[in-house]
Amino acid sequence: MSGLVSRSALIPTWRAVAHRLGQVAVDVTLVTVAYWLAYQLRFDFSVPGRFEETFAATLGVVIGLKLIVFTGARFYTKWWRFTSVRDLQAIVLAAIASSLLVTAVLSSWLPGDVEVVPRGVLMIDLVLTLTLVGGARFVVRSLVERPPRGQLAKPGREVLICGAGNAGNLLLREMKRNRALGYTPVGLIDDDPRKRRLRVQGTRVRGTRADLPRILREVHVDEVMIAMPSAPGRARQEVVNACRDAGVRCTTLPGLPELITGEVTVGQLRPVRVEDVLGRAPVDIDFPRVSRYLNGSVVLVTGAGGSIGRELCRQVAAVGPRMLVMVDHSENNLFEIDLELRERGHAGLIVPVIADCRDAALIRGVFEAHRPEVVFHAAAYKHVPMMEQNPVQAVANNALATVVLADEAQRMGVSRFCLISTDKAVEPKTVMGASKALAERVVQARGGGERTRFAAVRFGNVLGSSGSVLPIFKRQIAEGGPLTVTHPEMTRFFMTIPESVQLVIGATGIAEGGDIFVLDMGQPVRILDLAHKMIELSGKVPGDDVPIEIVGIRPGEKLHEELFNVDEEVTPTRYGRVMRATRPALPADGLTAGLDELTRRVAVGRPELVAQALWATLRSGRVAAAEGESLQGWQTDVTEEAPPT
């Protein structure tokens, strides 16, 4: 059995070697022809005898030197059928370098007593080498991309590509190279007037986005593909509206954040989602640069099975850490992200750990066992109404668990610690918001210790996260409605999961200590408008096919969310989409005493006492120890002011 396995495993290797030897043999032939033809052209096909001797004596040297340069340029690690413009640049450089090397060698040394190689021969040889070696590769690619004769009469789905830039060009190339995909491009549209009526890989640019309704009337199109990763949602919405009016299917490439670690392919096309048409400009960030601090590091992510935690794990794993420790108390959620990353080829670096972040002894063991250098603390309870009914768990998981993680990070000398926060921590009106605000205060109080830089990153609603409005609306649409909206004027800030995580990683990299970073969420979106767009994207009519019901604002819910507290000073950072919010820290004594009292009350488990101590701790600046007031006094003081629980 082992012998069979070994023999079968060698087959691809021998095929690869044979393929490379074949490429070398062709190049040897082309270099020989180029060098011979250079002599013929230099002497008008009447080469003197003495130069024929020079040709014969130096041919081996020329071939050897050029093959050395070609090998160094990695010519024989690539398939000619996939030759690209970048490969052409490499061919030009290699041809020039090899000719310069040949000139240098033959100018200082000649085999035997032969004539010096004429300079004209060397110049012509350079041009011919470039033409033959480069041309051969592009001829092979052209022949491979040319569809078989039988397929010319079998067009696939006729598609129109929106966007004649890099992404559209790559889609077009893949469709023409692989006819098995079943697509026949019938045109492109692009808003650049210079491209009007031009042809891209033989396919005509038929107009701009404004011409799309007319084009869909005049040309038979089965599907419109949006290939504009950097386009704002408004532009995508216009394309979707035109396709819906014409009854044509519309698909799209993901936005820049989703494409940041991969190349554009037809397989990435998907139906248009509501996050694609929200109208906000997508994040354009140099992710490889901002994430360099993660490369080769041990990274720990809490809440790794949640929506934000999963995307953090995906993006961190793609950067190349030495180890990725994934902590979550949910077995199923942790199993899913663990399986996903293993299937992506990251099995050697991931360590799944089932643990509750409130368990100080267990967390200490995790830190001592793996010694993380960067910590992303994403574990939290986030549903506002649920936490209003369970304030003990909200405080324990959101605030006190942050203390546990921060203590261990400081003790173990972690380089960077980032808390994932929320806009509900701004001027909080609910227990959930107050618990996250207290977690921010804990991070702010730690500041930039001797070895650990603490930071919190605050942003609004994340599109598509578990329990968010999008999954709820999708379920309600599937059930025929109604879609429940709390208030017709209610607005929220929205951001996609990939772009929010990219900005979290970028912000953590510039943390100086005790920073509160706020992500630019763009303009707030009306929930009612979001409901309309989701119904329309499902192919239905709002109000007619799917009713919308206004159910009223829930206790503690804000009509409009905010991103900054009234006492915060906002300054820009070197990343345009990340701002730094600075405010006076809570008195250290008051914060410490409040956290101690919260710990005691959580252990007792009485919700009303926990909620009272929570609000009192956030206002601990008004109850300084010098006034001689006890925590019992805090409870009495805040009973009338605390929001209902």
- Catalytic residue ranges: 424
Q: Which SS3 state, helix, strand or coil, does residue 1 take? A: coil
Q: What span, in angstroms and rounded, lies between the C-alpha atoms of 141 and 85?
A: 12
Contacts of 228 (CB under 8 A, 6+ apart): 162, 163, 165, 167, 168, 235, 236, 253
The single-letter code of the amino acid at 624 is: A
Query: Which secondary structure element, helix H or strand E, spans residue 187, and what is its range?
Result: strand 183-189
Answer left, alpha or beta for residue 156, where phi above 0 means left and psi between -120 and 50 means alpha: beta
User: Dihedrals φ, ψ of 497, to 5°?
Assistant: -60, -50
In three-state secondary structure terms, 510 is coil
Upper half-sphere CA count for residue 300 (Cβ side, 13 Å): 32
- Token pair 């030897």: residue: 21
**In 3D, which of 6, 122, 142 has the Cα closest to residue 54?**
122
Provide DSSP, 404-418: HHHHHHHHHT-SEEE
Rounded CA-CA distance 473/190 in Å is: 33
Cβ pair 62, 79 in contact under 8 A: no
Helix (H, G, I), strand (E, B) or coil at 374: strand
CA 279/CA 524 separation, integer angstroms? 10
525 in the Ramachandran plot: left (φ > 0), alpha (ψ -120 to 50) or beta? Answer: beta
Phi-psi region of 3 (alpha: psi -120 to 50; beta: other; left: phi over 0): alpha
